[in-house]
Amino acid sequence: MGVLAGCGGGNGNNAAPNDANQGASSSPSASASASASPSAEATGGGKTTVQFWHSLGGKNGEYMDALIKRFNDSHPDIEVVGTFQGGYDETVTKLQQAIASNTAPDVSMLERAYVQMFADSDVLEDMKPYLDKSGMSPDDFTAGLMGHSYFDNKLVSLPLNRSTPILHVNKTLLDAKGLSVPKTWDELKTAANALADKGKGQYGLTMPYDTWYQLAMITQAGGKFFNDDKTSVDFIDNGVGEKVFAYLKDLQNAGAFYYPPQQDSGNIVNKMFTEGKVAMMYQSTGSIGGLMEAVNFDYVTAFLPKDQEYANPTGGANVTILSGSKNKDAAWEFIRWMDTDPQGAQQFIVQSGYLPFTKAMVDSQEIKDLWAKEPNRKVAYDQLQYAVDTNMDVAWPEVMHEFFSAIEAIMYDSKDIKSTLATFKKEADRILNQ
Same domain, 266 and 340: no
- The residue among 74, 158, 130, 66 whose CA lies nearest residue 358 is 158
What does residue 150 show for φ and ψ, rounded to 5 degrees? Answer: -110, 130
Same domain, 279 and 172: yes
Same domain, 54 and 100: yes
Confirm if 163 and 13 have CB atoms less than 8 A apart.
Answer: no
Same domain, 138 and 82: yes
What are the DSSP E strand ranges found in 85-188? 107-111, 150-151, 154-155, 158-163, 165-170
Tell me whether residue 376 is in a domain.
Answer: no
Point out the residues of the chain with pLDDT beneath 50: 1-43
Same domain, 7 and 80: yes
pTM of the model: 0.84
Report d(CA 204, CA 120) in Å as an integer.
43
Tell me whether residue 223 is in a domain.
Answer: yes
For the chain, the domain total comes to: 2
Helix, strand, coil distribution of the chain in percent, nearest 5: 45, 15, 35
Tell me whether residue 384 is in a domain.
Answer: no
Query: What pLDDT, on a 0 to 100 scale, did the predictor assign at position 26?
Result: 31
Tell me whether residue 385 is in a domain.
Answer: no
Report d(CA 205, CA 193) in Å as an integer.
9
Q: Which of the 8 DSSP states describes residue 112?
A: G
Helices vs strands, H then E, count in the chain: 17, 14
Amino acid letter for position 77: D
Confirm if 103 and 37 have CB atoms less than 8 A apart.
Answer: yes
Question: Please, which residues have CB within 8 angstroms of residue 310's CB and are 6 or more apart in sequence?
Answer: 220, 303, 304, 383, 386
Same domain, 302 and 421: yes
Same domain, 194 and 289: yes
Same domain, 243 and 257: yes
> Each residue of 243-263: b (16+ CB within 10 Å) or e?
bbbebbbebbeeebbbbbeee
Confirm if 213 and 406 have CB atoms less than 8 A apart.
Answer: no
Report d(CA 302, CA 234) in Å as an integer.
28
Same domain, 235 and 270: yes
Same domain, 18 and 96: yes
Q: Are strands 224-226 and 315-321 parallel, antiparallel or unpaired?
A: unpaired
Confirm if 225 and 388 have CB atoms less than 8 A apart.
Answer: no
Query: What pLDDT, on a 0 to 100 scale, did the predictor assign at position 45?
Result: 59
Tell me whether residue 44 is in a domain.
Answer: yes
DSSP H or E segment with residue 204: strand 203-206
How open is the CA angle 240-19-397, to the nearest 5 degrees?
Answer: 55
Report d(CA 75, CA 382) in Å as an integer.
35
Tell me whether residue 56 is in a domain.
Answer: yes
Tell me whether residue 381 is in a domain.
Answer: no
Specify burial of residue 408 (Cβ count, 10 A radius: 0-12, 13-18, 19+).
middle
CA distances to 1, 141, 198, 258, 285 from 277, in Å? 42, 39, 10, 10, 20
Same domain, 153 and 13: yes
The residue segments making up the domain with residue 300 are: 165-312+390-432
Report d(CA 335, CA 37) in Å as an integer.
19
- List residues bridging with 83 in a β-sheet: 53
What is the Cβ-side half-sphere exposure of residue 159, based on CA atoms within 13 angstroms? 28
Tell me whether residue 217 is in a domain.
Answer: yes
CATH code for the domain in which residue 97 is found: 3.40.190.10
How open is the CA angle 49-53-56, to the nearest 5 degrees?
Answer: 130
Same domain, 328 and 192: no
Confirm if 211 and 302 have CB atoms less than 8 A apart.
Answer: no
